[in-house]
A and B are shown apart, each in its own frame.
Chain A
Amino acid sequence: MTKGILMFAHNNTEIDYLRMAVVNAMLIKKHLGVDVTIVTDQHSYDYVALTMSDSQISSCVDNIIINHKDKDFKRTNSKVYRDTVNLQKSLSFYNLDRADAYDISPYDETIMIDADYLILGNTLNSCWGNKNPLMMNYTWQDINFNRKFDLDRLSVASITQYWATVVYFKKSEYAQSFFTLCKNVRKNYGYYKNLYRWAGGTFRNDYVFSVAAHMLDGLTDKALPELPFKLFKSFDYDDIHSVISTHEILMYLEKHDSPGEFLLSKWSNLDLHVMNKWAINRAAQDFMELIT
């Protein structure tokens, strides 16, 4: 059985997703020791070549797959990115191809992760060989344990929200059906948006995957098994203070009752979804120096 990590990385005018994914691939090689495939586009690939050498990329990425971008989607899909409370920008967000992961993945067993899900330990290795053909988390934990965000459902009157941040799947009829449903939801996004009553105009894979999960098991909530670990998150109001080692970072976490004020926190050995993309790009060089 072949196994590997799959990431999607499409840059916009400010965020270098591909550089983020390559740095994460370095961490994956160090902590997990498995193959890595990155799906990107020609523009992102050309841009990363300005700051990273071929040998740096090929030392940690086993396959780079170049996908063509849907130009209409690229032009219309955007979201608000934040770099703490100090910066807020609406930028293009290209995330259309994640529903194709099943067809794209060259592996029998795949863990698809966001490029900003930093691999700081070997937790993901506990997934390989699992009896469940498909796993995703709906429970999650903010690493500022005092803070509460209401992100548990697509909307108050809707279904439980699964997070497409980390998805384990193995080549199987079950997983294939799941991704077929994902593609159907993607194609009819407006219809499902009305049916499942979520707000906002941004195309989100969390919603697509949640609806597919709900449909796959006969319209049952929380039917899809979760990953055998918690999904830890920091938010875009937070920042990375410094990189201590390849498995340890110091974080600025915004205080729950004082916007713009931070709690320092040390985070180690557990993978972390860092939503502040600028923070990861700032820390990328430090990670690279520690690894190489």
Chain B
Amino acid sequence: MSEKLSQALEFANYRATLNNQRAILRARVESLLSYSIDGGTFTIDPGLISFVKTLSDSGLETTVLLDIYQNPIQVQVEEFLTEILSRYTEATNDYHAEYVKLSKARSVSKLLDITDD
């Protein structure tokens, strides 16, 4: 096998590993953005955060939100907002840090944090 072909295959393997690790990272972040409270489960996203912020700004103390199952869940607005904001920030910051780390890794071993031996 020529050296160029060997390098191209090695690069293809690196790209396949990178793509899979990125997909795994996204799955992990999605999991971190799932929040369960009082028998309900919510997916934390900018829409939920904005809506709860609007409720908070209107002075509501408690409200009922529909969770991912469309079950009505009563929540304390301020407490809920603080929690989802904190979780969202933490998850996306982690995502960014890990994403940058993956982007900078230029070999399979670096992508996976393993030694070559």
Contact = CB atoms under 8 A, between A and B. Distances in A.
Interface of A: 121, 123, 126-127, 129-132, 141, 143-146, 225, 228-230, 232, 250, 253, 255, 263-270
A144 B17 CA distance: 10
Interface in B6-62: 13, 16-17, 19-21, 23-24, 27-28, 30-31, 34, 36, 38-41
Interface string B65-89: 0001101010000000000000000
Nearest to B35: A126
Given A131-B39, A230-B27, A255-B16, 20 more contacts: A126-B41, A129-B39, A130-B39, A143-B20, A145-B23, A146-B19, A229-B31, A230-B31, A253-B20, A263-B13, A264-B108, A265-B21, A265-B112, A266-B21, A266-B112, A266-B113, A268-B28, A269-B28, A269-B31, A270-B27
Contacts of A132: 69, 71
**Most chain A CB inside 10 Å of its own CB: which residue of B17, B19, B31:** B31
Contacts of B5: none
Interface of B: 13, 16-17, 19-21, 23-24, 27-28, 30-31, 34, 36, 38-41, 68-69, 71, 73, 108, 112-114
B23 A225 contact: no
A166 B5 CA distance: 45
Contact of B112 (A123, A131, A253, A264): A264
Given A126-B36, A143-B24, A250-B114, A228 B16 contact: no
Given A129-B39, A141-B27, A225-B69, A263 B16 contact: yes
A270 B31 contact: yes
A200 to B, nearest CB: 30
A interface, over-half SS: loop
Contacts of B13: 263
Contact of A146 (B20, B21, B28, B108): B20
Contacts of B114: 250, 264
A264 B17 contact: yes
B69 A123 contact: no
Contacts of B31: 121, 123, 229-230, 269-270
A228 B69 CA distance: 9
Contact of B28 (A127, A131, A270): A270
A146 B37 CA distance: 34
Q: 9 tightest A-B contacts by CB?
A: A228-B41, A145-B23, A126-B36, A131-B39, A131-B71, A266-B112, A129-B39, A225-B69, A130-B39
A255 B13 CA distance: 10
B34 A267 contact: no
A250 B113 CA distance: 10
A86 B17 CA distance: 23
A228 B34 contact: yes
B69 A266 contact: no
A77 B17 CA distance: 38
24 contacts: A121-B31, A123-B31, A126-B34, A126-B41, A129-B36, A130-B36, A130-B40, A131-B39, A132-B71, A144-B20, A145-B19, A145-B23, A145-B24, A146-B16, A225-B69, A228-B36, A228-B68, A229-B31, A230-B27, A230-B30, A253-B20, A263-B17, A265-B112, A269-B28
A207 to B, nearest CB: 25
Contacts of B21: 265-266
Contacts of B36: 126-127, 129-130, 228
